[in-house]
Structure formats: structure tokens, C-alpha cells
Amino acid sequence: MKSKTPNPPKFFLDFFRWFCHPDIREDIEGDLLESFNESVKSKGYKKARLLLVWDVLQLFRPGIIRSFSGTYRLNHYGRFKSFFVLTYRHFIKTPLTALIQLFGMTVGLTIFLLVLLWIFQEVGYDKFNKHADRIYRLEISSEHNNNMVGLTTTIATIIKDNIPEVEKTVRLRHWKADQTVLKLDNEQDPDFFRTGEIVYADNDFFEIFSFDFIKGDPKNALKKKNSAVITESLAKNMYGYRSPIGEQISVGKGVNFTITGVIRDVPNFHVDFKMIRSFKTHQTNDTWWYWAHPTYLLINENHDVTELEQKIAAVLRPHFPEGLKDQFTKFDCHLRPLKDIYFSGGEAQEAGYAQHGDYKKVIAYAFIAFFTLLLACINLINLSNAKFLERAKEVGIKRVSGASRSQIFLQFLGETSLLCFISLVLALAFTFHTLQWFNNLMDSKLLISNLLEPSIVTSILIGLVMVCLVSGGFPALYVLSFRPVKVLKGLNVSKGFTLKKLNLVIQFAVTIFLLIGTITVLQQVNYMKNADPGFAREQQVYFSFNGNHLERLATLKETLQANPNILAVSSTEAIPGTYNLADNKPVTIIFNGTEYKLAGTPADDGFVDALGLKVVAGRFFDKAYKADNLIQRSDELSSEPINIVLNESAVRAIGLEEPIGATGKFPNGGIVQVIGIINDYHMNSLENHIPPTFYTWSRAFAVVVRITPFDIPNTVNFMDKQILKLSEHIHSDIQFIDDVYNKQYQKDENFAELMMYFTLLTFVIAGMGLFGVSTFTVKVRVKEIGIRKSMGASAYQIFTLLTKAFIIIVLIAALLAIPVAWMSMDNWLNNYAYRVDLKWWFFVGAGAVALVIVVLTVALRTVKAAKINPALCLRYE
């Protein structure tokens, strides 16, 4: 039986009922049904349904569709919308406070982001290597040398051939100095380029370390002699967007390199380089000469490292040639995990080829970032509290109308969170613009794209949530403490002022602490830079010298000395700023039956003149005394004692009363005789002690030259030519000693500069917060001020009344900050062997600066308040 009333399509009818505006729903629905029934009769059921569907779809248009807010449907859209509207209106109403809040938080977050990027880079060094867990660096210790990293080329070959646990080995040779090369792609107009630092490496380099090849074949890139792989940045510099593969470059005198690969720049590999050349270019045959090659091993999984160390030592020992065996009677191997290398600065003798980080610095920066962010949060809390107090009535009305506590909490939390979120967006923009500056200051290579790394994104989000919870949560809780009845009666609710005071104390304590820190760091850096190092720092250059050409050194020295602009030439390795005596395993010498450990340094007759040292007693090495020169000592003199020179520290350490002529002996029986004493000088940064040292006239692989201040470029040019004359394979890497020496303090200087900026910013943040709070205080107390004035108080009295509270806050902050600062700065200074003393004025000065800033900031508001006309503020009651 057919149904009496045919069914219209239910789904579409429901759809219509859902979207249609309720005011017009009834009659249109009626119209639809009427037409449907009519067309069922005239056109049939199926067609009628289709027509209705078509009608409904045509009705789905603006004018018919209901709006999605403000209906009786139970959602929260309306409430959320009103939150945003309220937030926006309050921003507009108090733009200054809102801007101060935004700015403070933006600064805090920017510093947080920059430091976060930096910390992640520091901690992530070398971790990009896929096999990072299995890569170890071989270090060898003998009697004279501890954890020597520079090895001879044979060692890697022996290990590879004899120890199956070692999968692959790679030997490096690193040149700190860059080189000028000639591009040979255009014969008419060849271009010169500076290469940046250069590394020579075995072909397995790219098998062990995971570098991204953009072009070229990683398996064979370094197989042939005279092939080179360059980084993307160097490739862009030299060839633009052209493929450099197969291009030739020349380093002069017919030595041409072929470029076989381009790799992506890696900012966090512990060896810095722009160009890698095949190891065969550097040395074709393995030798036992020339200890200068850091060697890395890729070992199989699951091998006990200690066992392997012993095995390597056992395998190597019988291979040592006769001449070396007696130098390596004690002999240990150590495998240092790749991941530990970056933070192991100073533990091994590396001759400066590796870059190092400092855990202490990472922690220090993390603290600074944390405190800046904390200050920004406190600032936000203070200002929000002040602002929200004015909205007590709004809260009262809401509570009375039935808003729950959690709804109000969420509203105010949300308001501050929105602000934090906007600050984060601004901070990202700031970070983008300040990253270059920050990189220069930190000597780092951070990229803005690092911000997209998942671990960093997570940290930022966690940071943001914490900031929102802290700086939004406290004010929201404060708002909840308002009692609706009191508030609506118009009673004052200036509770929570203690929290505000506490916050101010924390802010200023941190600021004063940072200021004391900055003063101390600046003092220490200045002291180190300006202290007399004990040697003449100017007009000295040095270059390193290939061991294969030692026999020609004497000729070179003579040629150089013939130049009137060259004052003195000395072959020594004790180059200030490069050679760390403290790294050397001390040599034992027995004086008067007691063993003393002294640092041994090779020098020659020109040493004192070249470095500008003073002979305190006795004499220095001299050509006239044949016994001095150990390199050319004839056999008939072998029974004579070895002549040595001590420095003052050594004399003090040994306690020699008559040092000149005193004799001692090596544990193997060799006799030494002291012929002179030279003054102590700071070969390294003042961070280190001057070790007790003895000098012998022996082989050295570097030359120091002291020149006159006249026509320096020509003199250097002359030296360049003379060095290149020795051999076509030699590098000329002449550097000025004061440059190298001052570079030691670069990091300390950068640290000081950064501290200065951080301190300045925290002052700005704290000052702005204080400004906000004082504005608020004045506003709350304006009637009180009016009454006091009408009772006869002077403007000055009002001013002191309002300012006193803030001065007390600063004093309390200073009292808290000073002892902490004293302890931590004393602790920091103890890292330095030669340090400034903490003086009272560091502390008083910092406190005074804080006080002046506070009084000036507060005065901006209080002076105005003190001058107020009482009639104006008492008019409305």
C-alpha cells in the first residue's frame, strides 16, 4: 500500500533545518513541503524529490544561512570571541603598558632563542655523523708526551693491517692558515682565491664521517694525488652556480689540483675546513717521521674500548724503529670517542687543529638566558597584576553573573598567553635580524633554519608553555583572589602588593648580579690584555717549518738575518699564543737528589733577541760555545754536560741558591748544567700559570723573526720569497705574533661584550617593569596624595614618600645579590692563574647604578604626582 503522504528526502530537509536561520525556517520549510507535494502529483515522486534537493541547495546561500555565533546553540564561541574583544580593547586602552609588556617579553624570548640555538649547536657538535658512536681518535702517551694526537703516518697503516676490529682509518693533516690559489678555468684572466683552512685526508674520510656530497663521488673523491673536495660556500665563491667538478686550481710552481667533489658546509664538525685534499698529495710513503697527523678509527660494533687500546699498543710496540724505541719505553694508547672531542679542550696535545667548546660557558649562557626570561616573566606578572586590578569590577560582575572560577582563570591566563605568543612571533623576527650579529660575537655559525629542527621546536614550545603558565598563571590567580562583593562595592583591593615587591626584589637582584659580573669580566679582560707579557709583543712574525727541510734551516736563517729590516731570527716552537707548555708532559730532571718536573722547550741562540726576553743571570745560548748546540754537537763533546737555561719559575721551584753552574741529571744518566736564567714570560693567555721551564738548543719546527717597524710589507714579502725558495711544496704561513697572541683573548672579550648587552637589556626590562609598577602605585594612591597635599605636605615630602619604598627594594636586592655575586665571580676568576682582585667598588658601583636608575625611573611618575593639584584629584567622590 502506498503511503498517503509521500516522504520528502529526509537528509536534505534536515540539512536545511540545520543551516537555515531560525527566524525564517518555519515558513520556508512549509513552502518547500507544499511545492514538493504539488510536484509529486504533477511530476511524480522521483522528480519531486530531485526538485526539493535542488531547492535546498539553492537556499544554501548567505541571507538564508544562520550566523554561527549568538544563537541558542550551546557552544563557547561567543565567550571566546568576547575574550579576544576584551583583550584587544584593554590593549588599546593602555597602549603604553601593553607595549612595555610586549617589548619586555620579546627581548626575553629573543635572548632565549639565540642562546637556545647556540646551546644546541655546541652540544650537537659531531653528532651529525651516522657512525659517531664507533669513531674514535687515537692518542698516544709516552714519557715526554701525554695524549699526543699528532701521529706519524705509519701508525694508521699498521693498525689497519693488523687489527680486524678496526674497520677503517683516516689520517688528517690540518693547515690553520689559508692559502691563495689560482683558478685555471680561464687562461686569459685567471682569478686568485683564498681557500680558508685546508685539511689533507685519506680517501676513507667520507666513509667514516657523514658529509653530504652535492656533487662528485664520495667513494673515490680523495683517491688520486692532487685531488681536492671543496665546501659548497667556497664552490659558490669560486665558480658561482657552475659545477666545479673537474676544474683545475693551481697553488703555484706547477702544482695543480683537480676538484673532485663539493660537500655541503657543516657548521658543527670539530675540524674547520673549506678544502680537503687527498692525503697522497701531502705524503705518499708512510714514515716514522713527522708526528702531526690526527688519526681516527672506525671500529666494529660491540668492542670493549679498553681492550682494544691495549691491543693497539701491543701491536704497535714491535714496529717502532730503533731510533724511536728508547723514546717510547713507556707507551700507552688511548681511544677518545668522537663525541667527547669537542668538550675535551686541553686534555690532549692537538696543536690547535680542533675546535673546542666549553661546558662551563654553555652552563653560564644557559643561566643568563634563563634569568633574562625570568625577568621578562616577572615583568609581565607585575604589569599584568597592576592592569588587572583595574578590571576588578569586570571580574566581580562576571562572578556574580555565574562565571566559574576556572572560566575567569582561563580568560586571564589566555590574555597573557596571547601576549606571550605575539612576543614569540616578534622574537622570531628579532632573532632573524640579530643572528648575524650574534654569530660574529660568539664566533659561531648558527643558521635561522636551525630553528626548524624538531628538538629545537620542542624546546621552544616547552619554553613558551612555561612562560605562559608562569607569567599568565600568577596574575590570573591574583584576579581570582578578588572578592566579588567587595569589588562591586568599590572597595580597594590592593592586596598582592607584597608579591609585586618580591618580584621587584628578584628583578633587581638579578640585574645587580649581572652588572657586577660584567664589571668583573671587563676588568679581568682588560687586565689580561694590558698586562706585560714579559716579551716584546710587536713586530714579531712566525712561520712553521716542514721537518723535511731542517738541514736547510741554517741557510734560511742566515739569508734572513742579512736583511737590514730583520733584527733577529730564532728557530723555536715556543711561539707565544700557539704553543701550550702546560700541554707537554714535563721532563724529569734530578737536582740535588730530588726529582723536578720541568717543561722542555727547544730554542737557539737567537731566541732571547727574537722574542725580546731578558737574561736575568748567566748567559743564553751562544755560537761561541760549541757545547750549547745539541743539533751540531760533535761526538767528542758527548761526555760534556748538556747546557740548559732555566726560567725564573724553574729556579724558584727547584730552590737553587746558586743556579749558574748548578748541575742536575736526567733519570737516564745524562748530565745537565745550568748556564743562565731568563725572565718569566707569558707564552700563553694569563689564564695559565707560567710553568717551570728549561730550554735546550735543539730541533724546532717553527721560526720566530723580529723585524723593524719600517716597511713591514716588504720585509714580509722578502721572507715569503726566501721560504718558498727552499722547496716548492712548502707553505708560507707567516703570521704576526701579536695577532695570534691577542686571539687568545677574543673569546673572553666576546663574553664580556655579550654580558654587557645582556645586562643592558635586563636593566631595560627591569626599568620598564618598575615604570609600570610606579605608574600603578601613583594611580592607586592619588587620593591619598591629594589629601596629604591639602593637609600641607610639600611636593618634596610626597616625592620621598613615594620613592622610599622603591629605594628599600633596591637595597634589599643589592644585599641579596652582592654575596652571591662575590662568591660566583671569585669562583670564575679562579679559572685564571693571573686574575684581578674583587674590589669593593665593583659592588658599590653596581648597587649605585641600580639605585640611580630606580630613582630616575620612579621620578618620571612621582614628580608628576607630587606636583599634582589636590583639587583635581579630590574632585570626584
- Min CB(5)–other proteins separation in Å: 8
Q: Which residues contact 376 (CB under 8 A, 6 or more apart)?
A: 104, 105, 107, 108, 109, 467, 471, 765
Q: Considering only residues 3, 58, 638, 830, which one is a binding residue for other proteins as defined by CB under 8 A?
A: 58
Q: Considering only residues 11, 18, 60, 841, which one is a binding residue for other proteins as defined by CB under 8 A?
A: 60
Question: Is 33 or 863 the residue whose CB approaches other proteins more closely?
Answer: 33
42 binds other proteins (CB under 8 A): no
Altogether, the residues listed in the chain come to a count of 877
- C-alpha to C-alpha distance for 830 and 835, rounded to whole angstroms: 7
Question: Is 54 or 88 the residue whose CB approaches other proteins more closely?
Answer: 54
Question: Is 4 or 489 the residue whose CB approaches other proteins more closely?
Answer: 4
Among the candidate windows 28-36, 177-185, 390-398, 696-704, which touches other proteins by CB under 8 A?
Answer: 28-36
- The three-point CA angle 672-675-680 to 5° equals 105
- Min CB(34)–other proteins separation in Å: 5
| Alpha carbons within 13 A on the beta-carbon side of 537 | 16
Question: Is 11 or 625 the residue whose CB approaches other proteins more closely?
Answer: 11
Question: Is 63 or 323 the residue whose CB approaches other proteins more closely?
Answer: 63
- Min CB(4)–other proteins separation in Å: 10
Q: Considering only residues 12, 35, 179, 822, which one is a binding residue for other proteins as defined by CB under 8 A?
A: 35
- Min CB(46)–other proteins separation in Å: 19
Q: Considering only residues 14, 17, 34, 787, which one is a binding residue for other proteins as defined by CB under 8 A?
A: 34
Q: Considering only residues 50, 53, 64, 315, which one is a binding residue for other proteins as defined by CB under 8 A?
A: 64
E-assigned strand segments in 202-255? 213-216, 227-231, 248-250
CB 472 within 8 A of CB 387: no
29 binds other proteins (CB under 8 A): yes
- Min CB(72)–other proteins separation in Å: 20
46 binds other proteins (CB under 8 A): no
Question: Is 26 or 728 the residue whose CB approaches other proteins more closely?
Answer: 26
- Min CB(10)–other proteins separation in Å: 12
489 binds other proteins (CB under 8 A): no
- Min CB(45)–other proteins separation in Å: 15
31 binds other proteins (CB under 8 A): yes
C-alpha cell at 671: 748530565
Question: Is 65 or 787 the residue whose CB approaches other proteins more closely?
Answer: 65
Among the candidate windows 60-68, 386-394, 540-548, 656-664, which touches other proteins by CB under 8 A?
Answer: 60-68
33 binds other proteins (CB under 8 A): yes
780 binds other proteins (CB under 8 A): no
Query: Which has the closest alpha carbon to 96: 779, 696, 618, 573?
Result: 779
- Min CB(27)–other proteins separation in Å: 4
Helices 782-790, 746-780: crossing angle, 10 deg rounding: 60
Question: Is 26 or 161 the residue whose CB approaches other proteins more closely?
Answer: 26
Among the candidate windows 20-28, 177-185, 283-291, 579-587, which touches other proteins by CB under 8 A?
Answer: 20-28
Q: Considering only residues 15, 45, 53, 59, which one is a binding residue for other proteins as defined by CB under 8 A?
A: 59
The alpha carbon of residue 419 and the mean position of all alpha carbons in its chain are separated, in whole angstroms, by 29
Kind of pairing between the strands at 180-183 and 248-250: antiparallel
Question: Is 41 or 223 the residue whose CB approaches other proteins more closely?
Answer: 41
The continuous run of DSSP H or E covering 140 comes out as strand 135-141
868 binds other proteins (CB under 8 A): no
Among the candidate windows 33-41, 42-50, 240-248, 692-700, which touches other proteins by CB under 8 A?
Answer: 33-41
User: How many CB atoms lie under 10 A from the CB of residue 707?
Assistant: 24
C-alpha cell at 626: 760549541
CB 707 within 8 A of CB 735: no
61 binds other proteins (CB under 8 A): yes
Question: Is 64 or 536 the residue whose CB approaches other proteins more closely?
Answer: 64
The continuous run of DSSP H or E covering 273 comes out as none
554 binds other proteins (CB under 8 A): no
Q: Which residues contact 82 (CB under 8 A, 6 or more apart)?
A: none
- Min CB(24)–other proteins separation in Å: 6
- Min CB(62)–other proteins separation in Å: 8
Q: Which amino acid is at 524?
A: Q
Estimate the share of the chain in helix, then strand, then coil, as percent rounded to the nearest 5. Answer: 55, 15, 30
Query: Which has the closest alpha carbon to 414: 388, 386, 434, 393?
Result: 388
C-alpha cell at 48: 519531486
CB 375 within 8 A of CB 609: no
28 binds other proteins (CB under 8 A): yes
30 binds other proteins (CB under 8 A): yes
- C-alpha to C-alpha distance for 797 and 452, rounded to whole angstroms: 56
C-alpha cell at 268: 658543527
| Alpha carbons within 13 A on the beta-carbon side of 530 | 7
Q: What does the DSSP 8-state code read for residue 550?
A: G
Question: Is 58 or 638 the residue whose CB approaches other proteins more closely?
Answer: 58
Q: Considering only residues 19, 50, 55, 319, which one is a binding residue for other proteins as defined by CB under 8 A?
A: 55
Question: Is 62 or 713 the residue whose CB approaches other proteins more closely?
Answer: 62
Among all chains, which residue has been given the C-alpha cell 515522486? 45
Q: Which residues contact 515 (CB under 8 A, 6 or more apart)?
A: 759, 763, 846, 849, 850
CB 602 within 8 A of CB 594: no
- Min CB(69)–other proteins separation in Å: 20
Q: Considering only residues 18, 22, 37, 85, which one is a binding residue for other proteins as defined by CB under 8 A?
A: 37
- Min CB(44)–other proteins separation in Å: 17
Question: Is 31 or 538 the residue whose CB approaches other proteins more closely?
Answer: 31
> Which string of b and e fits 539-578 if b means at least 16 CB within 10 Å?
bbbbbbbbeeeeeebeebbebbeebebbbbbbbbbbbbbb
Q: Which residues contact 586 (CB under 8 A, 6 or more apart)?
A: 597, 598, 599, 600, 691
Give φ, ψ of 736 to 5 degrees.
Answer: -85, 135
Q: Considering only residues 63, 240, 254, 792, which one is a binding residue for other proteins as defined by CB under 8 A?
A: 63
Question: Is 61 or 875 the residue whose CB approaches other proteins more closely?
Answer: 61
- Min CB(33)–other proteins separation in Å: 4
Q: Considering only residues 2, 3, 10, 27, which one is a binding residue for other proteins as defined by CB under 8 A?
A: 27
50 binds other proteins (CB under 8 A): no
Question: Is 29 or 753 the residue whose CB approaches other proteins more closely?
Answer: 29
Q: Which amino acid is at 692?
A: P
Query: Which has the closest alpha carbon to 145: 573, 763, 438?
Result: 573
Question: Is 34 or 784 the residue whose CB approaches other proteins more closely?
Answer: 34
CB 290 within 8 A of CB 124: no
Rg (CA), the chain: 39
346 binds other proteins (CB under 8 A): no
394 binds other proteins (CB under 8 A): no
Query: Which has the closest alpha carbon to 395: 332, 475, 330, 459?
Result: 475
820 binds other proteins (CB under 8 A): no
32 binds other proteins (CB under 8 A): yes
Write out the residues near other proteins by the rule CB under 8 A: 24, 26-35, 37-38, 55, 58-64
